[in-house]
Amino acid sequence: MPADAIEARAQGWRTLAALHARIEDGLARALSAEHGVSVSEYTVLDVLDRQDEHHMRMQQLSNAAVLSQSATTRLVTRLEDRGLLARFLCPTDRRGIYTELTPEGRELLEAARPTHDRVLTAALDDARELPELAPLVDALQALHA
């Protein structure tokens, strides 16, 4: 592989990392301030809600949130303590534990989603103004158009 192709990849990665950091930071502040949840927590609630059966095993969850198994346990425990989701044993394999949103969890999610979308839009528009990030923003828009 030619050297400039590698450099192009590295540069792409730096761009992606920069954009990610900006968005993540904005989301973290807004979600925490307005709804008391971290980005990971919001992600878990969101993923659970999008799930067909509305429940998941811990491992799927940790995969979706890109967290370690241990971190997932703690995150779910936090959310469970706040009454936002519930654990129940998997009937067919009692090692497994399902989690599902409670009504309170769904309520918070629906309250937080506008915040999430607003901040995300703002962050993207913001990044759109920076010459080094603008191309990636556009590419992102085009992905699911």
Binding site for its own copies (CB under 8 A): 1, 6-13, 15-25, 43, 66, 116-117, 120-121, 124, 135-136, 139-145
- Contact segment (CB under 7 A) with DNA among 1-9, 90-98, 117-125, 126-134 equals 90-98
Strand order in the sheet with 97-101: 55-57, 97-101, 85-89
Q: What minimum distance in Å lies between the beta carbon of 20 and DNA? A: 13
Q: How far is the CB of 114 from DNA (least distance, A)?
A: 21
Site membership for DNA, residue 22 (CB under 7 A): no
Which residues does 82 contact at the CB level (< 8 Å), separation at least 6? none
Q: At a CB cut-off of 8 Å and minimum separation 6, what does 133 contact? A: 15, 18, 19, 22, 127
Enumerate the β-bridge partners of residue 89.
97
Q: Which does 117 bind (CB under 5 to 8 A by kind): its own copies, DNA, none?
A: its own copies
Could you identify the residue written with the tokens 């990971």?
40
- Binding footprint of DNA on the chain (CB under 7 A): 25, 29, 38, 40, 57-59, 66-78, 87, 92-97
